[in-house]
Structure 1
Amino acid sequence: MVAAGALVLSAPAAADPGRDLHGRGRSAHVLLVSVDGLHQQDLAWYVGQHPASTLARLAGAGLTYRNAATPFPSDSFPGMLAQVTGGDPKTTGVYYDDSYNPQLFPAGTTTCTGAAPGAEVAYAENADRDLSRLDAGQGLAGLPGSILGLTGSPETLLDAAQLPVDPKTCQPVYPHEYLRVNTVFEVARAHGLVTAWSDKHPAYDILQGPSGTGIQDLFTPEINSIGDAAGHDWTQVNALTQQYDGYKVQAVLNEIDGYDHARSVKLGTPAVFGLNFQSVSTAQKLPTSDGQAGGYLADGVTPGPVLSGALDFVDAQLGRFVGELSAKGLAGSTTIVVSAKHGQSPTVPSQLTRIPDGPILDALDTAWQAAGHPGKLVAHSIDDDAMLLWLTDRSPAATAFARTFLLGYTGTGNDIAGNPRPYTASGLQTVHAGADAAAYVGAGRADPRVPDVIGLVQPGVVYTGKKSKIAEHGGAAATDRNVLLVVSGAGVRHTSTVDTPVRTAQIAPTILRLLGLEPGELQAVRAERTPVLPGID
């Protein structure tokens, strides 16, 4: 941790990389940090309890947006893409890391003539060449200690046979090809700037943008691989998650020093770079870890011991970044942006109702067939703490049938202690179906990627057939979407707490503005007229 006096992020740069052609102060570097799961209420609590922390000093020296919202669905893919494209799913075309497209062919299709369209689009650990390995199948010796030797081109770690197939070319669709709009990384590269990023799956190739070349150094160790001799993956024990995040921290420290993540190639400190942290997210979701309770205390605000430790860990790593920037003379020309892809729900333990979604969907299909329709109605579903359904029949009659059924279904789940808890309406509070579902996300009904049914849950509902988690994301609750957003350092001319509602999608045009580039070079910014964050000159 650096000393309190070392955090001077707005001092003049040693040379003059922080001036644009018009003489206005700007940033030469933007370090973007996504602390997945971190709510605004968590930031407020932590700063209040730890006034000398790095988070407190970053917030105190910059702009803190108390009403920042991630997109819906509050999943990792749409949340991260918002930050680097300036657009919501209606524009990016990406609703989840596991979705469905009725126009693509299923993974493994090799003969497209006469094949039936309709494919799951799964861009997570399933797409790895070897999901059991931290290097996703690259074949590094000496893992996990050798992981910094991982390639910076993770598309080479993807198994083409696990990717959906384009009917026009009969070729696999790589994640970056699925994204409809460009990214801040692509804009920066077009201006000859260095770019880098670190994230949790090789499928984060999607951040490269449609060109496939937006990020020069993309470090993606597989978080759902086996992390210890007991067979746990890196998310199942919080100490493992912190160890995993530590590899990405070292990658960013190497990049601050002007190298690639492996410290083997001198690229220069990137103009746009950063990472996501998973430690807070897993601490919120795990019932216990190493014999301590996960999640929050009964008030839903105070972190329990595992989460408190994860917050301390993240704060310490942010301190390392600040210290390294200062040591390299880059503090005065760097802006640090700290936000989150998503929050997590519920935070109040007594609200939790865990519901297995499988029996609900099976019953829906059975009811559809009993009504005289052949085959299944549900083509694909993704249900965390919202219910997103893609149907085999997209007609108004079919979507209305699904909505009516879901609102009438009752069953029994379990509470935080594992005790039976009855539920009504499939655990849903509101169901949007058909044209109403498209309208809810601001998309046209003709868009084949839009879910046919969107179910918003009753407070505290999480869909899971197990008892291994106490929170999830993907929904529309305030605790899913109200995340921290702090901008601190070069380009920030005054400190302020901003209460005006903002979207995390505004991070993308703000990054370009801070770098002296035109936000309108982002296609999603033009499409949605996404403004720069208020308070940024």
Structure 2
Amino acid sequence: MHRHRTTAMTLAAAVAVSLGAATAATAQASPNHPTGHKQRHVLLVSVDGMHQSDLDWYVAHHPSSTLAKLAHTGLQYTHAATSNPSDSDPGGTALMTGGNPRTTGVYYDVEYSHKTDEPGAACTPGQPATGGDVVYDSPDDALANVPDLINPTNGTFPSFDENGSVYANGVDKNPAAIMRLQNNASSFNSKTFPVDPATCKSITPWDYLGDNTIFKVIHRAGLRTAWSDKHAVYMSFNGPGSNGKSIDDYFGPEIDSQAVEPNGVPYPQDDDWAHIDAATKQYDGYKVNAVLNEINGRDHTGKTTVGTPAIFGMNFQALSVAQKSRSTSTTLIKHADGTYTTSAPQAGGYQWAGGKLVPGPVVSSALDYVNTQLGRMASRVHQDGLASSTTIIVTAKHGQSPQDPNKLTTVPDGPIVDAVNAAWHKTHPSNAKLIVAGTNDDLWQSYLSDNSAAADEFVKGYLWDHTAQGYDVNKKPVTVQHSGLAQVWAGAGAAKFFGVAVDNGHYPDVFGKVQEGIVYGGPTKLAEHGGMNAGDRHVLMLVSGAGVRSGVESAPVETTQVAPTVLALLGLQPTKLTAVQTEGTRVLPGITARSAR
């Protein structure tokens, strides 16, 4: 009903109008917020995997939805691109720093560095780095060995609460109790962290970053900060030199833990929260509750009154899981006796209908879920008298590729790596493992034990000349040229691509863009993220709230621009971010900075 309105209105006010409530233009202070509407707040939400095309489709088919109101009453950036690579870690870090991997040093959540030593390796302070894995992921959890609750012989999961502080021995019989989780350094097993060869000490996730973050700048300004995400390791967003204390209230229940229904019974699919979409929605719901509590002026537990943060928010996983799953359940059904079942599995990903590529039933359901939760947040902002002082930013850390299932080709990357190593070993008998690390979701990254120019060019040439075997969307064998790659950079060429010095040490020695539709791995997924095709990087970007005009910006923007924009909206100087100084990252166009302090 606001499609023809041209004056600016906050999202919270628009939602309130749709509910029959008065507008929030003259919202008064709530008892839970001592400084009331005079405070400045930014609610930042990452809907992981959400493309601009998803937003376009949803708004067209749900014109009265929260997403539609946000698009019509705020600024919509129709050509927004993620970091490159577009994986969760570099993508999330870009939002929080304003920097790309060339300054943040974060190229993936599982990477390698020639400037560190291997975790747990013998070390003599001041000796040259030997190189080592940099894995900031769920294996870093302090308690990552909880037995499978259905069949212990199947192996283990990380604990839902990482450090075992909520559940005795990590055994989860009451998932709602996760709201008591207090993430801090005790959430980690620091022995899994890379080692600084200068000091022989483990490098914490926040100290590995090459740039400071919005949380550090905002915290130092005396304002409260909060964030909710899918792993404890995203406490890296605290930034270097923070001792992990720039985020006043971090909430990171582990998404790789075993999915447990609200009554404490494991999901019968016997999997983690990221592989059953009904479970993912339940999981996302805990982070939504954290945000609602924070809007109310309490900490994420809802128990302690602390005031609404200046910066806070969360990421949604339900859409990303829906895009990748071939088939999954969308809904958890509660029965009168207190037991639960999941709905019948439906097709994940996208499908062709009427000559158009549209969300399938699971993706559509996930979009509905995200829209509903955004509506709850916006309504709570209004109800608590914060509409005139709060700006909501909705974007995505990453997209997902391919969207068209007919373009999917899954290629096992292990045989390719083995073939490269075997070919090198023939002429270099003392080196049986040239590729020592890498991550190949829908891009190619290789780190080499010998990173000489000759070795770099050998791998590049081998990959380009190699014919690989894969599977189409119907799991039928296919052959792909160039190892599935469209372009390859190596050595100095890779350094130039990322804009770093050749001896930087953090960037992949060999880096490749895949042919559209290539996903490395077994034929279990419909899509992946991390790459550099349009599906990976072209995401939504919406900004709505106090002082933000309505309109559409078609000029290209990047998700790195969120960080300086957040500071500008809070009246802080964007140039306090080191990435802004180095990369020249600009505030999003159309956003007027408040008086800086």
Note closer, same or farther for the CA distance 1:337–1:7 as it changes in structure 2 (3 Å cut).
farther
Pairing 1:228-243 to 2, within 5 Å after superposition: 228=260, 229=266, 230=268, 231-243=270-282
1:73 is aligned to 2:85: yes
Residue 97 of structure 1 is matched in structure 2 by: 109
Pairing 1:432-451 to 2, within 5 Å after superposition: 432-451=489-508
1:149 maps to a residue whose letter is: R
Note closer, same or farther for the CA distance 1:61–1:5 as it changes in structure 2 (3 Å cut).
farther
1:62–1:496 Cα contact (<8 Å) kept: yes
Pairing 1:294-443 to 2, within 5 Å after superposition: 294-298=348-352, 301-372=357-428, 374-375=430-431, 376-443=433-500
Note closer, same or farther for the CA distance 1:70–1:42 as it changes in structure 2 (3 Å cut).
same
User: 1:115, CA displacement in angstroms?
Assistant: 9.2
1:256–1:324 Cα contact (<8 Å) kept: yes
Q: Distance in 2 between matches of 1:27 and 1:8?
A: 21
1:26–1:491 Cα contact (<8 Å) kept: no
2:100 maps to a residue whose letter is: D
Greater alpha carbon shift after TM alignment, 321-330 vs 130-139: 130-139
User: 1:368, CA displacement in angstroms?
Assistant: 0.6
Q: Distance in 2 between matches of 1:491 and 1:523?
A: 27
Q: Distance in 2 between matches of 1:38 and 1:27?
A: 30
Q: Distance in 2 between matches of 1:179 and 1:8?
A: 45
User: 1:395, CA displacement in angstroms?
Assistant: 1.5
1:121 is aligned to 2:152: no
2:487–2:512 Cα contact (<8 Å) kept: yes
Note closer, same or farther for the CA distance 1:529–1:237 as it changes in structure 2 (3 Å cut).
same
Pairing 1:107-506 to 2, within 5 Å after superposition: 107-109=119-121, 111-112=123-124, 117-131=130-144, 132=157, 133-141=159-167, 142-153=173-184, 155-210=185-240, 211=242, 212-228=244-260, 229=266, 230=268, 231-290=270-329, 291-298=345-352, 301-372=357-428, 374-375=430-431, 376-464=433-521, 466-492=522-548, 494-506=549-561
1:409 maps to a residue whose letter is: H
1:26–1:514 Cα contact (<8 Å) kept: no
User: 1:163, CA displacement in angstroms?
Assistant: 1.1
Pairing 1:32-51 to 2, within 5 Å after superposition: 32-51=44-63
2:165–2:181 Cα contact (<8 Å) kept: no
Structure 2 SS opposite 1:536 = coil
User: 1:488, CA displacement in angstroms?
Assistant: 0.2
Q: Distance in 1 between matches of 2:21 and 2:397?
A: 25
Structure 2 SS opposite 1:82 = helix
User: 1:152, CA displacement in angstroms?
Assistant: 3.8
1:364 maps to a residue whose letter is: V
1:325–1:331 Cα contact (<8 Å) kept: yes
2:564–2:577 Cα contact (<8 Å) kept: yes
User: 1:439, CA displacement in angstroms?
Assistant: 1.3
1:292 maps to a residue whose letter is: Q
Note closer, same or farther for the CA distance 1:437–1:111 as it changes in structure 2 (3 Å cut).
closer
Q: Distance in 2 between matches of 1:535 and 1:301?
A: 32
Aligned CA RMSD, in angstroms, stands at 1.9
Note closer, same or farther for the CA distance 1:489–1:513 as it changes in structure 2 (3 Å cut).
same
User: 1:58, CA displacement in angstroms?
Assistant: 0.7
State, as a whole percentage, how many aligned pairs show the same letter: 47
Q: Distance in 2 between matches of 1:152 and 1:41?
A: 35
Find 1:29's aligned residue among 37, 41, 48: 41
Note closer, same or farther for the CA distance 1:182–1:26 as it changes in structure 2 (3 Å cut).
farther
1:509 maps to a residue whose letter is: P
1:233 maps to a residue whose letter is: D
Q: Distance in 2 between matches of 1:321 and 1:252?
A: 8
1:8–1:332 Cα contact (<8 Å) kept: no
User: 1:26, CA displacement in angstroms?
Assistant: 9.2
User: 1:166, CA displacement in angstroms?
Assistant: 1.3
User: 1:246, CA displacement in angstroms?
Assistant: 0.2
Note closer, same or farther for the CA distance 1:434–1:8 as it changes in structure 2 (3 Å cut).
farther
Q: Distance in 2 between matches of 1:47 and 1:242?
A: 21
2:399–2:529 Cα contact (<8 Å) kept: yes
Structure 1 SS opposite 2:359 = coil
User: 1:425, CA displacement in angstroms?
Assistant: 0.7
Residue 21 of structure 1 is matched in structure 2 by: none
Note closer, same or farther for the CA distance 1:115–1:511 as it changes in structure 2 (3 Å cut).
closer
User: 1:139, CA displacement in angstroms?
Assistant: 3.5
Q: Distance in 2 between matches of 1:497 and 1:27?
A: 27
User: 1:446, CA displacement in angstroms?
Assistant: 1.6
Q: Distance in 1 between matches of 2:183 and 2:23?
A: 29
1:171 maps to a residue whose letter is: K
Greater alpha carbon shift after TM alignment, 202-211 vs 364-373: 364-373
User: 1:372, CA displacement in angstroms?
Assistant: 2.8
User: 1:143, CA displacement in angstroms?
Assistant: 3.2
1:311 maps to a residue whose letter is: L
Q: Distance in 2 between matches of 1:444 and 1:407?
A: 25
Note closer, same or farther for the CA distance 1:7–1:183 as it changes in structure 2 (3 Å cut).
farther
1:386 maps to a residue whose letter is: L
User: 1:200, CA displacement in angstroms?
Assistant: 0.4
Structure 1: stretches of 5+ with no match in the other structure = 17-24
Q: Distance in 2 between matches of 1:280 and 1:446?
A: 39
Note closer, same or farther for the CA distance 1:354–1:329 as it changes in structure 2 (3 Å cut).
same
Pick 1 or 2: higher relative contact order, CA cutoff 8 A, min separation 6.
1
Residue 84 of structure 1 is matched in structure 2 by: 96
1:4 is aligned to 2:60: no
Structure 1 SS opposite 2:210 = coil
Q: Distance in 1 between matches of 2:569 and 2:189?
A: 37
Q: Distance in 2 between matches of 1:431 and 1:339?
A: 29
1:2–1:320 Cα contact (<8 Å) kept: no
Structure 1 SS opposite 2:357 = coil
* Dislocated runs of 4+, deviation >2 Å: 5-16, 109-116, 228-231, 298-301, 371-374
User: 1:79, CA displacement in angstroms?
Assistant: 0.8
User: 1:110, CA displacement in angstroms?
Assistant: 5.2
Residue 19 of structure 1 is matched in structure 2 by: none
Residue 11 of structure 2 is matched in structure 1 by: none
Q: Distance in 1 between matches of 2:193 and 2:514?
A: 30
Structure 2: stretches of 5+ with no match in the other structure = 1-14, 31-36, 145-156, 168-172, 261-265, 330-344, 593-597
1:536 is aligned to 2:586: no
Q: Distance in 2 between matches of 1:280 and 1:399?
A: 37
2:96 maps to a residue whose letter is: V
Q: Distance in 1 between matches of 2:19 and 2:361?
A: 29
Give a deviation string over 1:61-95, Cα, whole Å, max 9, x none.
10000000001000111111111111101011111
User: 1:162, CA displacement in angstroms?
Assistant: 1.1
Q: Distance in 1 between matches of 2:74 and 2:572?
A: 21
